[in-house]
Structure 1
Amino acid sequence: MRDPAPGPTPGSLWQGGAMRVAVVAGPDPGHAFPAIALCLKFLAAGDAPTLLTGAQWLATARAAGIDASELAGLDPVDGDDDADAGAKMHRRAARMAASNVAQLGELAPDLVVSDVITAAGGLAAELLGLPWVELDPHPLYDPSSGLPPVGSGLAPGVGVRGRARDTLLRALTARSVRKGLRQRAQARVGIGLPRSGPGPRRRLIATLPALEVARPDWPAGAVIVGPLHFEPTATVLDVPEGAGPVVVVAPSTAVTGATGLAEVALESLVPGRTLPAGARVVVSRLDGSSAPVPPWAVVGLGRQDHLLAHADLVICGGGHGMVAKTLLAGVPMVIVPGGGDQWEIANRVVRQGSARLIRPLTPDALTTAVADVLASPEYRDAARRARDGIESVVDPVRVCHDAVASPR
């Protein structure tokens, strides 16, 4: 990774006082929660953010003190092809931009922050002539001339054969990349924008440096700002009594996540048999579960930061939010990745040394991996090294102020 774009200096900050900021993100927790966390950072800095997201999170955001409004157009309409990722992202984004441009105009923000997969925010900002910043609540996923395609989970190839492999893989995916660019251009033209635009003034890469990969073409204006986390509840789950290790199970909230993780964990992780005597299991989940809960376990929605302060191991699905939150606590993992970017994230964490990966999920595979990570201090040491990387990130609010003060 080339050095990310430097953070702003105090003298470069926007001099207009408190900013009005519109933050646009879809309802998936992996995108809505980082947007809420960013709004809270704006509030703490004296700015005035308004969050536009799915209706299910409006009360949660408002309870946290954030002005929030429903983002129009999230539901698919007749003719939408959700099997075509490019069409889903770009065509729907253009329609949503047209649906939300009046609402954004009434807010009269100084800056729009648009989630990377909720591209409507950036398009609407362009329609209004407003500056905008992109929020990537995960590592940078742009294709690179020096990396295998993102999603493969592969480390960059080494030597002649490794580089040839990566070149071949990039060629195999290039057609899809070109198709996506055409779809984006068509969507832009359809709402009165030129085929290509200037893009965001800055990109907030909300991850830990340990989860990034060195690349020769780090884009200008992309800045690593650290993970953005929000706890959607004030409830604290009590850890069961015991003297053994605490294992936290956090099933994926993504629709592409692996299924059955909590159920397999509750059935197979037994203190004195597959776990050390006195061990405790806590399952942290947004939704309910019909699985029976043994006396050494607790299941429910609770503050994950509280649980991670007690955890010796986390079992999760590989979503960036939970992985980054766990690394910030210096806790090692067993990762059971599903679809989307979870395979990529899981393999990066394994290479960094903080986790074991299992696929497919079976009771034997899970208990073997859990025993190995609990018995091997090098996993925790690697997690703590990843945690320490937070010292090098840049404040996202300062980056946004700089984007208004210094456009390019």
Structure 2
Amino acid sequence: MAIIALIVGPDPGHALPILGIGAQLRRRGHRVVVWTGTRHAGLAARHDIEWHELPLLAPQPGDDDLGVRLHVRPMAMSRALTPQVAAFEPALVVVDTLTRAGALTAATLGIPAVEVVPHHLPDPDPDLPPIGLGRPLPRTPWRRFDDRQLVRCQLRSNAEGDRAAAAAAAELGLAGWPAPALRLLQTLPSLERPRRRWPANTLIAGPLALDPDLPPLAPPDGDAPLVVVTDSTATGLDRSLADVALLGLAGLDLRLVVTTTSLPPRRDHRTVVGVGPHGPLLAEASVAVSPAGGGFLVKAAAAGVPQVVVPLAGDQREAAARLRDVGAGRVLRPARCTPRALRWAVVRALTDRRMPDAAAQLAREAEPLGASWAADRCLEVLSDRDPGTASGPAARRVAP
């Protein structure tokens, strides 16, 4: 039995994939200890994972400065975290890509780290559109030129950030910013655009997230198509996505479940509003509607559900673009997401004969992947085997 440490911030989109891997490692008989926010203590306990609060989560002076958040604050957090982690003498650390203190702690203790990215590969590539804008692949020389100019800017910015990160790591006595032994991406092969060069030790892992510790939310009775909508608390719309869905989908011959905390619970013969785990709902859904967060999008894709997405931020725009590329989703811009537009998009998704086939292809890709597969790759790192030789579906997409 090995002791394995998990280090992740409190945001559910980042914490639930880490806990998903941790639950699988615990099932294999390993002792698993997590440092995260208090909201996940109950879920960790349910899966027999020892929980500790991640230090210095409260807002700190200078948090408005991105450089402080990315380089200075992780140093302070790592100094507080390292003695706590060292007391357990773990053999492996699994860290979230944004919880940079975890990487510093693992390197300080000389322990291999597995980094989990809860969406697509975020590395810019000169042959692809700039990451984060949600652009389609270029079709004209002008667009290709514009994309490459923006990617050059992103690469220069990344290089500057790497220098700042190395300087921060040096203050902890490290030779440079530590590289993980393995990166796991919570996405699917078809949702990764082909690249000429794929980074070493980076694998596509499929859906990883645990469902939150919530009672099931039963859909309305009947056999009409089920549409599952998940809300966001920061939609940037005049109404929340939940409000728009309730207005836009009213009167259609379908069953509607809206998972949200922004509206009071409600249940009638056609509509359910509340909170609950998404897994059971997606197993029955005909269409899923969301802001294109990485966890929900890949979970719906793994269930073979066509999607309508309203992306709000960079990684959501990027995920939405890849879903659109493969024909498994329709994309609505937030500014255009009126009740009428959402109604039309859902009706189109319900009647489009091609979208179910594209969604089914994503489900086939996801079948051999997931948290159990990712746990096996972590154990290969632990046993000094090369996780890049793992058998199974295409773990990366490289241009011919």
Inter-CA distance 175–163: structure 2 relative to 1 (3 Å threshold): same
Structure 1: how far apart are the matches of 2:181 and 2:227? 42
| Residues 249-299 of structure 1, C-alpha deviations (whole Å, 9 max, x = no match) | 11136x57766000111122123xxx23xx1110123x2514876652111
1:264 aligns with 2:254: no
AA at the equivalent of 1:309: A
Please name the residue that 1:243 is paired with: 223
Where structure 1 has 5 or more consecutive residues not aligned to the other structure, the ranges are 1-17
Say whether 1:55 aligns with 2:38. yes
**Residue equivalent to 2:105:** 124
Structure 1's consecutive aligned runs of 4 or more residues displaced over 4 angstroms after TM superposition are 158-162, 255-259, 290-295, 391-394
The one-character-per-residue Cα deviations of 1:301-321 (angstroms, maximum 9, x if unpaired) are: 122111112211111110010
**What is the CA–CA distance in structure 1 between the aligned matches of 2:354 and 2:331, rounded to whole Å?**
15
Letter in 2 for 1:400: C
Check the 8 A contact 1:157/1:165 in 2, yes or no: no
Deviates more, 1:289-298 or 1:112-121: 289-298
Residue of structure 2 equivalent to 1:283: 258
Amino acid at match of 1:382: A
1:202 equivalent to 2:182? Answer: yes
Q: Is the 8 A contact 1:25 1:32 kept in 2?
A: yes
Superposition deviation, residue 158 in structure 1? 4.9
Alpha-carbon contact 2:119-2:319 (below 8 Å) kept? no
State whether residues 266 and 293 of structure 1, in contact with CA within 8 Å, keep that contact through their aligned partners in structure 2: no
Gaps of 5+ in 2: 387-400
Q: Which secondary structure state, in structure 2, belongs to the residue aligned with residue 341 of structure 1?
A: helix
Q: Report the Cα distance in structure 2 between the residues aligned to 1:240 and 1:257, rounded to whole angstroms.
A: 29
Are 1:293 and 1:299, in contact at CA under 8 Å, matched by a contact in 2?
Answer: yes
Counterpart of 1:104, as a letter, is: V
State how far apart, in whole Å, the 2-side matches of 1:239 and 1:283 are. 10
Is 1:79 the counterpart of 2:56? The answer is no
Q: Residues 252 and 319 of structure 1 are in contact (CA less than 8 Å); yes or no, is this contact kept in structure 2?
A: no
Amino acid at match of 1:27: P
Give the structure 2 partner of residue 20 of structure 1.
3
Q: Quick one: structure 1 residues 294 and 176, their matched pair in 2 at CA, closer, same or farther if it must change by over 3 Å?
A: farther
- For residue 398 of structure 1, what is the aligned residue in structure 2? 376
Aligned counterparts, 1:235-384, within 5 A: 235-252=215-232, 260-271=240-251, 275-276=252-253, 279-285=254-260, 287-290=261-264, 295-359=269-333, 360=335, 361-384=337-360
Equivalent residue, structure 1, for 2:167? 186
Inter-partner Cα distance in structure 2 for 1:370 and 1:355:
10
22-31 vs 201-210, greater mean Cα deviation? 201-210
CA gap 1:392/1:168 in 2 versus in 1, 3 angstroms: farther
**For the aligned residues, what is the CA RMSD?**
2.1
Is the alpha carbon distance of 1:225 and 1:154 closer, same or farther for their aligned partners in structure 2, counting shifts above 3 Å?
A: same
Gap change, CA 1:99 and 1:217, over 3 Å in 2: same
**Structure 2 Cα separation of the partners of residues 260 and 267 of structure 1:** 11
What SS does structure 1 have at the residue aligned with 2:283?
A: helix
Range with bigger deviation, 182-191 or 109-118: 182-191
Asked if 2 retains the 8 angstrom alpha-carbon contact of 1:201 and 1:407, the reply is no
* Cα displacement (A) at 1:204: 1.4
In 2, the alpha carbon distance for the partners of 1:232 and 1:392 equals 23
Identity percentage over the alignment? 37
Aligned to 1:64: 47
SS at match of 1:398: helix
Equivalent of 1:166 in 142, 147, 150: 147
CA distance in 1: counterparts of 2:214 and 2:39, whole angstroms:
17
- Superposed displacement of residue 336, structure 1: 0.9
The 2-side partners of 1:257 and 1:128 are apart by 42
The residue identity in structure 2 corresponding to 1:88 is R
Residue in 1 aligned with 2:115?
Answer: 134
> Kindly tell me: are residues 268 and 206 of structure 1, through their superposed partners in 2, closer, same or farther at Cα, counting changes over 3 Å?
closer
Distance 1:216 1:132 in 2: 26
What is the CA–CA distance in structure 2 between the aligned matches of 1:96 and 1:156, rounded to whole Å? 40
Q: Is 165-174 or 378-387 further displaced after alignment?
A: 165-174
Q: Are 1:314 and 1:332, in contact at CA under 8 Å, matched by a contact in 2? A: yes
- Secondary structure of 2:124's counterpart equals coil
Q: Is the 8 A contact 1:257 1:317 kept in 2?
A: no
TM-score normalised by the chain length of structure 2: 0.89
Note the C-alpha offset of 1:362.
0.8
Deviations 1:75-109 (A, max 9, x none): 2212332xx43431222212111110000100110
**Residue 330 and residue 181 in structure 1: after superposition, are their counterparts in 2 closer, same or farther (change >3 A)?**
same
Structure 2 counterpart of 1:94, from 75, 84, 90? 75
User: Hey, what's the Cα distance between the residues in 1 that align with 2:369 and 2:195?
Assistant: 18
Tell me whether 130-139 or 107-116 shows the greater mean CA deviation. Answer: 130-139
Equivalence for 2:395: none
Aligned length: 381
309-318 or 184-193, which moves further after superposition? Answer: 184-193
Matched residue, 1:3 = none
Cα distance in 2, alignment partners of residues 206 and 367 from structure 1:
29
Indicate conservation of the 8 Å contact 1:353/1:382, yes or no: yes
CA distance in 2, matches of 1:393, 1:219: 20
